[in-house]
Structure 1
Amino acid sequence: MSEWSVAEPRKLSFDDPVTALHVRIVNGTVNVVGTDEGSARLEVSEIEGPPLLVTQKDGTLTVAYEDLPWKGFLKWLDRKGWRRSAVVSLAVPASTRVEVGVVGATAMVSGLDGQADVKGVTGDTTLVGLAGPVRATTVSGNVEAQAVTGDLRFSSVSGDLTVVEGSGPSVRADSVSGSMIVDLNPGTRPTEVHLSNVSGEIAIRLPHPADAQVEANTASGTVSSAFEDLRVRGQWGAKQITGRLGAGNGKLKATTVSGSIALLRRPPAEDEPWDVEPEGAPPADTDGPTDSTGPTGGPTDGPTDKKVL
C-alpha cells in the first residue's frame, strides 16, 4: 500500500492501475473526470484544516479525511469537523468505479463508463456524460444530470433533481420535498421512469414522438398534460393521468401526495438542425428580448412547454 498525507497544495501521479476511486471531503470542490489514459492523476489546489489522507491499495485510490467514513456518511454531524475545506481534482481511467462523498462541498463527475455513487449532505452535484449506472443520494443538495446514458437512481430529502437530455434505460427518483424536472432525449430504446414525491413538484418532458405507458397520480396537487392521447381524471382531490403514447414500450410512473405533476412535449423543431431555414427567410433578430428556452436550449412552443423547464 502507498500512502501520502496532503496538508498543502500538491500534485500526485499514480503509475499503478486504478480500478476504483473513493473521495470524501468537507466543504470545497471535487472534480472527477474519466480519461482514456491508463493512469490516474490528483491535484489538491487548495486545502485548509486537517490534511487529506491519500492511499492506493489493490487498485483502489482513496482521497479522504481519516475521521470521515463512507458508512453513515449522511449522518456525519460533527460540526467542529466541518471547519475544513479542499479543492480536489482527479483524472482517472473512464472505466473506474467511483464513490464520491461531500458534506458541504460541490461535486462534478464526468466522462465515466464505470459505476458512480455520489452522496451529499448540503453540497450540489453535477453529473455529465456518465455511461455506467449512477446513484445519487443527498439530504438537501441539488443534483443535475446531463446526458447520462446509464441507469440513474436518485434519493433526497429536500434536494432537487434536474435531468437534461436523459437517455438512459431507466430513471428512478424519490424525494420528500425536492422538485424533479426530467427531460428525456429522443432515442431508439424505451425508457422507464419512476418518480415518487411527497410535496415536491414533478415535471417531465417527453420526446416527439413519445413511446410510453403513462400513469401519474397526485392526492391533492394539480396535473397538466400536453398529450391529447392521455386521459386526465379527477377535479377535486385525487387526480390521475393515464394512457399510452406510441407503442407504449417505455414506462412512465409519477406519484405525489400534494405536489403538482406536468407532462410536457418536446417540440419537433428541436430535432432539426439549427441552420435549416426556409429559403429566403429573413435573418433572425437578435436584438431585444428572445423567446424562453427549454432544458436543451431549443425553442419553446406554446402549451407544449412550460416555464418550469
Structure 2
Amino acid sequence: MAIEKWVVNPGESRVIDLELVRKLKVSLIGGKVDVIAHDEPGARVEVSNVTGKDLMIRIDGDSLEIDHPQLRWDNFLEVFKGFTGSAKAEVSILAPRHVAMKLGVVSGDALVSGFDNDGKFSSVSGDLVIDNHAGDVECSSVSGEISVGDHTGRVTAHTVSGDVTVTGEVGSFNVDTVSGDMVLDAKGTPSRVDTNSVSGDLTLRFDPGSGARYRVNTVSGKLLLDDTQIKGTLGKGFERVTGELEGTWLDLGANSVSGSISVIRRQPATAPADSGEASA
C-alpha cells in the first residue's frame, strides 16, 4: 500500500478520513490534542489553528502518524526536554478503540479517552489526561501533570516535578519522581505499589478487608499507615504486615527523603437512611 501524506500549513485547517488504523503515533509541540476512541476500524483527523510550523499527517499501511515537530524520536523526553519551539495546533482524532498508541506533547495538553490497549504517553510541560482506559500505560513528564482516571490495568509513571493522580482498578502502580506528589485512589486492592521520590508525597487509598505488606521509608516526612501515624523511623525504614497475605493483598514499597507517605482504607459504603414512611 502506498504511503499517503498531508501537510497542514499555518492558518489552514483540514479533516482527513482514513479507512483502517491499527497503530497511532502523535507528536505535538503546543496547543492541544484530543484522542477519542470509537468502534470503527478507521480514523478521522481534524486539524485547526496551526501556527508557527506546519503539521504533517502520514499513513503507512495501518500506521497513522500526526507529526508537528517533524523530528524523529523514540524517547520523547530525551529529544524534546530542551525544545524551545512555540508552534501550536489543535488536533482532534477519532481512532479505533483497540489502537496501539504512542503520544508525546511538548507544551501542549493531551486528552486520551476510551481505549482498550497499552499506551505510552510523554510530556515536557503540558498536562496529560488519560480517561476510561483499559490496558497498561506508561507516562513520562518533566513538569506537566499526569492524570489517569477510571483506569483498568497497570500504571507506570516517571516525572521530575509533575504530579501523578490515578483512579480505578489499578493492578500495579509504579512511580518515580523528584518533587511531584502521587495519589492513587484504587478501586479494590492493587497487587503492587512501588514509589520513589525526593520530596513528593504519596497518598494511597484502597478497599478495606484485604491484607497488606508495607515496606516504607521516609527520612523526614510523615508516615501514616491504615490511619495510624508511625513515629520514630528516622529514615531506618519500617515494615508491617496487616491481615492475611493470601488471595488478593497489597504489596507496598515506598521510599522518600522528605515526602510524606499516607495509606488509608476506603470507608465502607452505608445504606441510605429511610427518610419517609411507607404508604398504607
- Same fold by TM-score greater than 0.5: yes
Measure, in 2, the Cα distance between the counterparts of 1:204 and 1:136.
19
Map of 1:243 onto structure 2: 241
Map of 1:234 onto structure 2: 232
Which residue, 106, 114, 117 being the options, matches 1:114?
A: 117
Give, in angstroms, the shift of residue 58 of structure 1. Answer: 2.4
Query: Contact (CA 8 Å) 2:223, 2:231: kept in 1 or not?
Result: no
| TM-score when normalising by structure 1 | 0.81
Partner letter of residue 250 of structure 1?
Answer: L
Change (3 A) 1:90 1:14: same
Partner letter of residue 278 of structure 1?
Answer: A
Give, in angstroms, the shift of residue 258 of structure 1. Answer: 1.4
Map of 1:278 onto structure 2: 273
Measure, in 2, the Cα distance between the counterparts of 1:72 and 1:277.
51
Measure, in 1, the Cα distance between the counterparts of 2:254 and 2:193.
8
Which residue, 47, 63, 67 being the options, matches 1:64?
A: 67
Give, in angstroms, the shift of residue 211 of structure 1. Answer: 3.4
| Ranges in structure 1 where 5+ consecutive residues have no aligned partner | 283-309
Give, in angstroms, the shift of residue 115 of structure 1. Answer: 1.5
Partner letter of residue 13 of structure 1?
Answer: D
Query: What are the within-5 Å matches in structure 2 for residues 17-28 of structure 1?
Result: 17-28=20-31
Query: Contact (CA 8 Å) 2:182, 2:201: kept in 1 or not?
Result: yes
State the identity %: 32
Give, in angstroms, the shift of residue 180 of structure 1. Answer: 0.5
Which residue, 46, 53, 56 being the options, matches 2:56?
A: 53
- The reply to whether residue 214 of structure 1 matches residue 218 of structure 2 is no
Which residue, 145, 167, 179 being the options, matches 2:181?
A: 179
Give, in angstroms, the shift of residue 232 of structure 1. Answer: 3.6
Change (3 A) 1:212 1:225: closer
Measure, in 1, the Cα distance between the counterparts of 2:212 and 2:48.
47
Measure, in 2, the Cα distance between the counterparts of 1:210 and 1:118.
32
Measure, in 2, the Cα distance between the counterparts of 1:245 and 1:47.
57
SS of the residue aligned with 1:280?
Answer: coil
Map of 2:17 onto structure 1: 13
Query: Contact (CA 8 Å) 2:217, 2:235: kept in 1 or not?
Result: no
Change (3 A) 1:112 1:89: same
Give, in angstroms, the shift of residue 259 of structure 1. Answer: 0.8
- The reply to whether residue 41 of structure 1 matches residue 44 of structure 2 is yes
What is the CA RMSD across the aligned residues, in angstroms? 2.1
| Ranges in structure 2 where 5+ consecutive residues have no aligned partner | none
1:10-36 alpha-carbon deviations (Å, 9 max, x no partner): 111001x21110010111111111211
Change (3 A) 1:202 1:132: same
Runs of 4+ displaced beyond 6 Å = none
Measure, in 2, the Cα distance between the counterparts of 1:173 and 1:23.
24
Query: What are the within-5 Å matches in structure 2 for residues 142-221 of structure 1?
Result: 142-164=145-167, 166-186=168-188, 190-221=190-221
Query: Contact (CA 8 Å) 1:181, 1:202: kept in 2 or not?
Result: yes
Map of 2:259 onto structure 1: 259
Measure, in 1, the Cα distance between the counterparts of 2:142 and 2:130.
17
Query: Contact (CA 8 Å) 1:208, 1:267: kept in 2 or not?
Result: yes
Give, in angstroms, the shift of residue 109 of structure 1. Answer: 0.9
